[in-house]
Amino acid sequence: MKVCKFGGSSVSDAGQILKVVDIITGDPARRLVVVSAPGKRFKSDEKVTDMLICCAQRVLDGESVADDIAAVVDRFELIRADLDLDRKLVDHVKEELLRRLDAPVGNKAGFMDSIKALGEEFSARFCAAVFEKRGFPARYVDPKDAGMLLSSEFGNARLLKESYELLREHLEPLCAESIVIFPGFFGYTRDGAVATFPRGGSDITGAILAAALKAEVYENFTDMNSVCPIDPRIVPEVNCGISAMTYREMRELSYSGFGIFHDEAVMPAVKAEVPINIRNTNNPDDPGTMIVPTRKTIPGRVIGIATSPGFGTLFVSKYLMNREVGFVARLLSMFAEEGISFELIPAGIDDVSVIVRDKFFQEPARSKIIARVKKELEADEVTYEPGLAIIMVVGEGMRTTVGSCLRVVKTLTGTNINIEMMNQGASEISMMFGVRENRLADAARALYKEFFEERK
């Protein structure tokens, strides 16, 4: 059995929802469908979730929400009319939205979640009605009835462990009877309050259900054919997709802002070893990208290159640092005390660099740490330089091959790009290079040419 999740663009209007129906009914193994709230239909459009957040915020600010309510209702009325669905569906949208907006606020984040979650709830009810209308038995399942129990960290909730068993018990028989449409993004606390995952959290719902039901695959439908080996916003000429990668490769690549869904979001599927298949609602015949526990690798083959600007280096130098036990530990504890996480610590004999995300290393913490390093660690030199970009070259195939690093270094030096930092993880499936931000695009293009263009 397959669990399929459709993102906001896949359910943004009547035409998109009909594509979902065709995809699901085209394969009898697709029994459980997780949907997001309707997303953008065009670039300047608004996501329903954003409209709902705005609505809830206005109530919290004591402002009038009549226009916002009308806009949400209109969005669903358009879908209803285009698909000739029962008017009761839109009546429910109006009534439920009003009911929740009128409820006593109590916990503000909890109130926000109760409104925010409605996009998914309505979306799933509408989708179930479309299946039924077209003659395919389908049912909407409420996360409360199914046992989707979450922590009460509103807006950032986590699944409670006992949910897996509850979900399996409830959903297995239902999936045997009909197609199940399940709203993504939210569940309920033990006290019965609505709680949502972080934004984009329908991916998490899909992964949880795929794990609970031990699905043969978790199909995640978006609006692109497959995962690109390098960011197409930086290298527009990229025209090949990744057909298969391992969980570890996905993790390494998504670390520096690679355009896959958030790796943490799919952790439940990874833990249960359910393969993930990224596919395109608008081009369902494309096999997409498979993300699997292990795969056959070609020696030396790079699977993807992630690029990310926004880093900085705190450089610390002290003569005979190598003889001073605990120097780096004391340095890092200063970061911990300021609540700043570091990314990497490349070290030499008399020097060490702490690589941080620049946006997290801001004043006044920055000056405070620099002053402490000078005073308490008696460093000879302490400087901070922002503007560093990280390039991650990833591939399981690099583990068994000599010379992958040389190829990257040759390509970058051949493009006259200075490598400021290099690091290879112990797993040997990724190499990290630091270059100046203003040379990142040139570096990405050159590496794409070197590692991917010749494969076409």
Could you please report the per-residue DSSP string of 407-428?
A: HHHHHHHHTT----EEEE-TTS
155: amino acid identity, one letter: G
The least distance separating ligand ASP from the CB of residue 426, rounded to whole angstroms, comes to: 34
Question: Backbone phi, then psi, for 374, in 5-degree steps?
Answer: -65, -45
**Nearer of residues 100 and 445 to ligand ASP, judged by Cβ:** 100
**Nearer of residues 20 and 334 to ligand ASP, judged by Cβ:** 20
Contact set with ligand ASP (CB under 6 A): 8, 36-37, 47, 49, 119, 184-185, 199-203
**Nearer of residues 48 and 141 to ligand ASP, judged by Cβ:** 48
Question: Backbone phi, then psi, for 84, in 5-degree steps?
Answer: 55, 50
**Nearer of residues 201 and 434 to ligand ASP, judged by Cβ:** 201
Question: Backbone phi, then psi, for 41, in 5-degree steps?
Answer: -90, -25
186-188 and 430-436 strand pairing: unpaired
Angstrom distances, CA of residue 32 to CA of 6, 255, 439 = 11, 29, 46
The least distance separating ligand ASP from the CB of residue 82, rounded to whole angstroms, comes to: 21
Could you please report the per-residue DSSP string of 252-302?
A: HHHHTT-SSPPGGGGHHHHHTT--EEEEETT-TTS--EEEES-----TT--
The least distance separating ligand ASP from the CB of residue 198, rounded to whole angstroms, comes to: 8
**Nearer of residues 8 and 275 to ligand ASP, judged by Cβ:** 8
The least distance separating ligand ASP from the CB of residue 303, rounded to whole angstroms, comes to: 26
**Nearer of residues 52 and 73 to ligand ASP, judged by Cβ:** 52
What is the rounded CA–CA span in Å between residue 6 and residue 27? 15
The least distance separating ligand ASP from the CB of residue 36, rounded to whole angstroms, comes to: 3
Contact 9, 225 (CB under 8 A): no
The least distance separating ligand ASP from the CB of residue 43, rounded to whole angstroms, comes to: 16
The least distance separating ligand ASP from the CB of residue 205, rounded to whole angstroms, comes to: 8
User: Buried b vs exposed e over 168-183: b needs ≥16 C-beta within 10 Å?
Assistant: bebbeebbeeebbbbb
- Residues for the chain: how many in total? 456
**Nearer of residues 203 and 396 to ligand ASP, judged by Cβ:** 203
